[in-house]
Amino acid sequence: MLLDRAARHLYAHLGSRYRFAWPLLQVPAALFVACGAIAMIASYYDPEPRQVALMLGAATSFTAIGVSLAMRAQSRSFAELMAWRESRDPSPEATREAWVTATNLTVRSFRANSLRVNAIATVPTIVLALIALELPWYEGFVLALAAFPAAA
């Protein structure tokens, strides 16, 4: 809710520069979810603080990379939307296209990038968690199942 309000305020005031603020709103939300997944995993394994720090570092780093790559993949659509916004007299067709882009950008980004983002965020994090917690490789499947709700 707070991020939505901030996004609306920034969109209204920043104009075409909003594309620089958008990641600052999207990445922290994803990092919050990743940290929640690590907290849940840590509650089952009773790790030492250094192990938690390693898992949090991995989760936040790889989540930020995955989300950033997904936003980069949608940058052309976002740039077209910002160009429409800056246009003095947009055509009805351009307005329709801008509306479709604005209302579907998040869903399209999720559908197009979900598997890639989740793989980038979870696979290396799970591998590092296995190493940090000194678990056998097959425990990775348990960690993947624990991370699934957060990744979905």
Residue 50 lies inside a defined structural domain of this protein: yes
pLDDT band at 138 (very low <50, low <70, confident <90, very high): very high
Residue 47 lies inside a defined structural domain of this protein: yes
Is residue 107 within 8 A of residue 60, CB to CB? The reply is no
Match 């939307």 to its residue by tokens. Answer: 81
Whether residue 148 is predicted with pLDDT greater than 90 in this model: the reply is: no
Give mean pLDDT, residues 45-52.
92
Q: CB count, 10 Å around CB of 113?
A: 19
Residue 6 lies inside a defined structural domain of this protein: no
Residue 79 lies inside a defined structural domain of this protein: yes
By residue range, what is the domain housing residue 130?
27-151
> What total number of domains does the chain contain?
1
| 94 against 6, higher pLDDT | 94
Best CA proximity match to 42, nearest among 146, 150, 121? 146
Please tell me the distance from the alpha carbon of residue 113 to that of residue 120, in angstroms, as a whole number: 10
Question: At a CB cut-off of 8 Å and minimum separation 6, what does 109 contact?
Answer: 70, 71, 73, 74
Residue 1 lies inside a defined structural domain of this protein: no
Identity at 29, one-letter amino acid code: A
Sign of CA dihedral 77, 80, 86, 89: negative
**Model's pTM, two decimal places?**
0.72
Residue 12 lies inside a defined structural domain of this protein: no
Best CA proximity match to 54, nearest among 136, 148, 134, 149? 134
Average model confidence (pLDDT) across the chain: 82
Sign of CA dihedral 2, 53, 118, 144: negative
Residue 87 lies inside a defined structural domain of this protein: yes
Residue 20 lies inside a defined structural domain of this protein: no
